[in-house]
Structure formats: structure tokens, C-alpha cells
Amino acid sequence: MTWMRWNDRHAGRRRGIAACAGLAMLACASAAARAQTYGLATMQPGTLAHATGSAIAKVLKEKGGLNTLVQSTAGESVLIPMVAKGEIDLGIANLAEVQAAAEGSPPLQPDLRLIGTIHPLRTAFWVRKDADMQSIADLKGKRVPLGYSAMRTVDMLVQAQLALGGVTANDVKPVLVPNAIRGADDFIAGSADALYFAFGGPKVREADATVGGIRVLAIPDSAENLAASRKLFPYGYLTQVPPIPLYVGVTRPTQVYTFDYMLFASPKTKDDVVYKMIDTLVNSKAELAAVAPHLQEFSAAALHKKFNMPYHAGALKYFADHNMPAVEIR
């Protein structure tokens, strides 16, 4: 009987030790998960992409327990292949660059996986406030920045936007530029009749102050022109902006050309991590906007849009679990 009691006591101790060891292993695994660092590749500080990436990294760390660090790169054409190869966990870039990498000219990035739409990016043509041009259709015969030898997707977007006015590159006098900044400088210097840029860009305000005021060219209401535009870039759409200080040169509610900024990864980023990232962002909109005010336009309803490019498996599971079918771009 004494031996049995001794054996029972020591068996209990062994079970207790095993249980403690199991808890210790779980604790270690949890600590390892917390210690995992995720890289988020963006463009350089001062860009809209960097501001967006910084807000996302802060929210993922503070609200999701996912230690995420922004990694600045020379540009989207550099960071996208790095993410697709799994060299960096996450990336953010405009949809035109992502599409070019996934569907454009070689070398393609077949392992690129979308996570979701983060915010819209709006672009426009501006002219001097006293110019006689009113809509994009009036750019026929005018001097328009084109080429964008260092930003090939911008040249495609410019031509897609010209098409909204029934205008082609052959209908204008091309002012060949390497990038959008040079195009803006040529407009300010008087070498071009129109400025093409994104809303919110410092160059837009510089141009407005330098030339005595600028005005956005309207987009004609034409389903035929929109169809022609989408032959050049299939994922552009129109949104209406109000006349507020943020939108320089907008004097009344105006339709402007819009496409999306995307968060993406590769299959090497774990499904459950992507799932948790989306869930954290969806539940932290106020915190995102507090860091980057333009993320007031972040929308759970717009996260899952219909593209030909593949989504990450973790994102697809989140969308399925939360009844979020792909939204058609209209």
C-alpha cells in the first residue's frame, strides 16, 4: 500500500511536470510568433505609398501584435519582384504597377498574390485657370507630357485618361518626359499645356501657386470612351470629388479618373498571418486614418475587388468567412 501511494504521488508529479513542459512549449511558441518581424516594402519617405505603409505597419503592430517594419525601396518596379519572390513579406503599390508585373511584359511575377485594396488613387489633367480648355476632349492639338521613359505605367495611364475624352496620343503634340515631376516642371515653365499628376501631390499645389491658378479638365460622360480607356488599362474607374481644399482646381463636384493602391504578398507569407492582417485593418480604420488621413477612404467593402490577378489564400479565406464576394469595377 505504501509503495502504491509513493508511486501515485510520483506519477502525479510526472504528469504535473509534463503539463508544465507543455505550457512552456506553448508559451515559447507564442513568444516566437510575437517576435516574428514582417517587412512591408514601400516607396521612399515623402511619398503617399510610404505614408500608407507606415500607417499599416503601426496598426498591425499595435492592434494585431504583428511586428511590422516599413522597408523603403527605390520604387515600385524594385519592390514588387522582391515581394513576389518572398524576399519581403508584404508590399504596397499602385494597381497599374502590380498589373504590369503580374500580366504585362516579361519578366512576369507569377507568385504575386493580392491581399486587398487599401485606398483609391485619383489623377487628373490640369490646365491654367484662364485656359480655354474645359474637358479632356479639348486637349486635341495641345502640348501634353507623354513618354514617361522612367515610369512606363504612367504613360499607359496618361493614354487611358486621354481616351476618356476621345483623344489618342496621335491627337496631341507630345512633350516627352522621363517622369511625372518633369512633366509638372514643363507645365510650370510653359513648355506643356497640361499637367498630369495625382491629387494631393505637392507639385499640384506648386503649379497652382506658380502659374496663378489651375483647373481640372472635366471627363465627358461617354460609355464608349470609358470602354476605349479600359482597353489600355482595364481597372480604371470614375469617382466624384467635391470642391474642397484637398482637391486643387476643383470648383464643383467633378468626376475624376481613379485606380487603386494594393497590399500584396507572395505564397510564402503564411495564410493565418494574412488573415489576421486583414482582420486587424478592417477593425482599425480610425487608427489608420489617425496616422494617414487619406486612409479615411479605406473600406472593408472595397477590399475584395474582381481582378484577373490571383489573391492570397489567406485573403480568400477571410473574404469567404466574412461573406465578401469580389466587387466588380464599374
**Whole-number pLDDT of residue 33:** 45
Q: What nine digits make up the cell of 187? A: 507645365
**pLDDT value of position 283:** 97
- Residue 163 identity: A
Q: Is the pLDDT of residue 13 over 80?
A: no
| pLDDT score, position 35 | 64
CA–CA dist 240, 257 (Å, integer)? 9
**pLDDT score for 200:** 79
Map out the domains of the chain with their CATH numbers.
34-120+261-321 (3.40.190.10), 130-259 (3.40.190.10)
Q: Which three cell numbers stand for residue 215?
A: 483647373
Return the sign of the alpha-carbon dihedral for residues 149, 153, 158, 160.
Answer: positive
Give residue 223's identity as a one-letter amino acid code: A
- Among 76-90, 94-108, 290-304, 312-326, name the one with the lowest average pLDDT: 94-108
What pLDDT shows up at residue 152?
A: 86
pLDDT classification of 21: cutoffs 50, 70, 90: very low
Angstrom distance (rounded) from CA 279 to CA 270: 14
Q: How far, in Å, CA of 115 to CA of 109, rounded?
A: 15
